[in-house]
Structure 1
Amino acid sequence: MENQATQLLLIEDEKAFAVLLESYLQQHGNHVTTRYSLQGGIEQTLLKEFDCIIVDIGLPDGSGLELIRRVKSRRLTSSLIIISARNTLEDKIIGLDLGADDYLIKPFDLPELNARLKSVMRRRYAQQDAPLIFDKLVLYPATGQVKVDQRPLLLTQKEYELLFFFMTNPDQLLDKLTIAKQVWGYNMDLASNDILYTHMRNIRKKFVDAGCPEYIHTRYGLGYILTMA
């Protein structure tokens, strides 16, 4: 599957920049559909499900965040990369918490976009594997479901991605920067804030409420580990 051309939807209102991105991405083996407005992008998602959507936040007819909300509300499996000139932590948090897989700040080098796209697609393909099992937990990558003793465990998008990373690395100590890079792409500064801690606390509370141990343990000054010990 990874040998097939990645089907991309690019939504960027600066036409000269969009043409440059489209040409570069197609030269690197991707099939790119380009639209220049929020409405044009939304219409394309109704016609076809793409492997990945690259969307600018600042569009002439609305925010690219609205497209992300609609993609997630329809439970489409498209990966999402935000490209934006907005460089505040708040903008990053909003976009990533809505379900974006990465956030790239303009201006950026085209090889960096390609590297991030490859990273996002590797995670996408990895999540198509067989169910992951850890004690009472079962994670189904094909459907995005998590169950405890056959009962659904409701997680947010980022909680799910965190759990997926831990369940593919059981009994391994993972430092905060490694976790942030894997789950939030290259936005390493997120690890220095309370975002990761808050997500970890919420996941562990949901485990306990479902009748499980906390499973994910803190190793102070070192990171986190998924373990029965």
Structure 2
Amino acid sequence: MTVDPPRALADLTPTIQAYLMAVHALGAGGDPVTSSALAERLGASPSSVSEGVRKLVAMGLAEHRPYAPVVLTEAGRSFAVAMVRRHRIIETFLARCLDYPWDEVHAEADALEHVVSDRFVDALDVFLDHPHRDPHGDPIPTRDGHLDPLGDTPLDRVEEGSTGVVTRVSDRDNAVLRHLAEIGLRPDSPVEVVSRQVELGIISVSLSGRVVQVGTPVAAAVRVRVDD
């Protein structure tokens, strides 16, 4: 069964918007977007995910065959990128102008992004002088959907002795964000991997002349642009 294709974000329910963002985010990681991965990311049951994916397909926003990954159509990707843009612009506004800590902006933006208008988001974009990255370092898409590639690597995969600059950190775990803030591991921080104790799950990194130890789960949440 198919339905009339949506013409604007306002035509999409918050649930459909959340599914689009989840599929886009998982796909950006390079891995196939499976129903189980969607269920884990959304905190939903397998049956709910199956129904959600079915609705995406019916609306012409995704393609999915049995036992195959979920893939966004061009229309689905366009809506997903528009949602990513409004989410990250709202996060930037909250952090810059309202002094929200970076571990609180994600949840607040999640609540606001479904109710604000495109006009409001565009006004925020102008007010903030068209920011390129959000508080966590993630690139903000332009109004026409362009998204700058970063070419970065998870910190837990960076080789010993390598240097680079932190580009972004995951906003999925607030406890990790608070820990990163405490040790000063933020976007634009220059880093050097001093040692990797894989068997202990510890990576030692140099930050502005001081060495800190980072657990591999935390390091996996940090992306680095490694120097050539």
Relative to total residues, which structure has the larger strand share, 1 or 2? 1
TM-score by length of 1: 0.29
Report 1 or 2 for greater relative contact order, CA contacts < 8 Å, sequence distance ≥ 6. 2
TM-score by length of 2: 0.29
- Report which of the two structures shows the higher radius of gyration computed on alpha carbons: 2
